[in-house]
Amino acid sequence: MQNLILRADAWLKANRPDYYAKLRPGIDVAVLDAYQARFGLVLPTEFRELYLWRDGQDIGPGVGALVHNHMFMPLHKSASSKELLDGMIGADFDDPAWWRVGWVPFTLSFGGDHYCIDLETEDRAKRGQIIDFWHDEPTRNVRAPSLADWMRGLVLSMEQGRLVLA
């Protein structure tokens, strides 16, 4: 994962300097530990490494996306989105497959959708897969088998000139 992070960092710095300037500094291990404790989760090493590198990006009008139309969420925004969505289970979300407490959002689209790391799938072999959460669509597609695989795809799309932005 570290090699992928270094490659993404170098590519963004060289090819998207305006976006790169909007990336927030990495966070402290204690902040990740507090997130884990708050939600009763064990965050994968890959997720922790990503946030130790950068705490997402500035989010607001006129700020670009990392990939497609998804912005890289600061951890405090991930926490507030997760808390809101977790709180909707059983009230707004009657279907238990709509949102699960073991999903951790790390991107935010301009339409309110997320890419999430899935820490709750029934299939233990698939824990840590990356899924998309569409706020108004029940389909939960698997984007990658792990965060490292998702990151590898992102880095390759950057380096090969195939990065898709909204």
Q: Residue 37: CB partners within 8 Å, gap ≥ 6?
A: none
pLDDT at 135 over 90: no
pLDDT number for residue 101? 92
Assign residue 14 the CATH number of its domain. Answer: 3.40.1580.10
Which range is least confidently modeled, 32-36, 48-52, 86-90, 159-163? 86-90
CA 102/CA 83 separation, integer angstroms: 11
In a domain, 166, yes or no: no
pLDDT at 5 over 90: yes
Residue 139: CB atoms within 10 A of its CB come to 8
CA 157/CA 151 separation, integer angstroms: 10
Per the structure, the count of domains in the chain is 1
In a domain, 164, yes or no: no
What DSSP string describes the chain? -HHHHHHHHHHHHHH-HHHHTTEEEPPPHHHHHHHHHHHT----HHHHHHHHHEEEE--STTPPPSBBTEEE--HHHHHHHHHHHHHTBTTTB-STTT--TTEEE-EEETTS-EEEEES--SSGGGTTEEEEE-TT-----EEESSHHHHHHHHHHHHHTT---B-
Q: Which domain holds residue 44?
A: 2-159
For the chain, give the percent of residues with pLDDT over 70. Answer: 98
> In this predicted model, what pLDDT tens digit does every residue of 61-113 receive, in sequence order?
778 999 999 999 999 999 999 999 999 888 887 777 888 999 999 999 988 89
Q: Using an 8 Å Cβ cutoff, are 21 and 12 in contact? A: no
Average pLDDT over residues 138-147: 93
> In this predicted model, what pLDDT tens digit does every residue of 44-62 receive, in sequence order?
999 999 999 999 999 877 7
In a domain, 153, yes or no: yes
In a domain, 38, yes or no: yes
In a domain, 165, yes or no: no
CA 30/CA 42 separation, integer angstroms: 13
